[in-house]
Amino acid sequence: MSNEKRSKKHKFIKENIKRNQTLKKQWIAFISIGCFFAVLMIILGIQSVTKEGFIANYGKNLVQAVYRNQVVTDNTVKTGLVKVRTIKPTDVFVTNEVLVYDEARDGGNFLWVQEIVLIQDDQITVRFNEFLIAQTITYDDIEYAYVRDANLTDKVFYFITQPRGLLYAFVISFVIVAGSYVILIKKKD
């Protein structure tokens, strides 16, 4: 065999080895991405259906409520997600914010974030903003203690605790895994 044929054969073997190593790395990357999303979906699925799961409990700490200190125009107010905690007697003090259903304003359909302005015996006076008349409630009328408005992470966790959000998470994961297969494995040699 001539040196030229031997050189071509060695070059061909080196290219094949390099191509196989690249393909092996691509498969490892694809399998890693697939395993990551498979584990993520298993965790999300289990957590969203169990009552004691972190994400399920996390989602229960978020409620839809009417934001405080907004001007009511044309009987319209904005609602959004707020982070709450279970009310304790130590949470009831002047200037603290609590969530209550407001029968007078909306028939008790929404939770309203309201500030405690006065406590007398077992009567608690709360107000939504400085323009609306304060109302008197009892401790039993308070549903939650207000913690803060929900941030982006809170909203994402809340969304995936809902059935539609979990479905979207599954679909997005499938698209990412399928896209990584197309990009990493099926690309032209």
State the residue range of the domain holding 140. Answer: 60-150
Residues 80 and 113 in one domain: yes
| Cα end-to-end span (Å), the chain | 30
Residues 18 and 43 in one domain: yes
CB atoms near residue 160 (< 10 Å): 21
Q: Is residue 70 part of a domain?
A: yes
Residues 124 and 164 in one domain: no
Residues 142 and 164 in one domain: no
The Cα–Cα gap between 138 and 122 comes to: 6
Q: Where residue 64 sits, what CATH number does that domain have?
A: 2.30.30
Q: Residue 81 pairs with which residues in a beta bridge? A: 64
Residues 83 and 131 in one domain: yes
Helix %, strand %, coil % of the chain (to 5) = 50, 25, 25
What's residue 105's pLDDT? 66
Residues 39 and 66 in one domain: no
What's residue 12's pLDDT? 65
Q: At what angle do helices 152-161 and 163-184 cross, to 10 degrees?
A: 100
The Cα–Cα gap between 24 and 124 comes to: 68
What's residue 188's pLDDT? 52
Q: Residue 124 pairs with which residues in a beta bridge? A: 119, 137
Residues 124 and 144 in one domain: yes
Residues 42 and 92 in one domain: no
pTM (2 d.p.): 0.61
Mean pLDDT by 10 residues, the chain (189 residues): 64 68 78 85 70 54 82 79 83 83 72 87 82 81 87 82 80 85 71
Residues 158 and 92 in one domain: no
CA atoms 70, 97, 103, 57: torsion sign: positive
What's residue 79's pLDDT? 85
* H helix runs in 50-151, sequence order: 54-60, 103-106
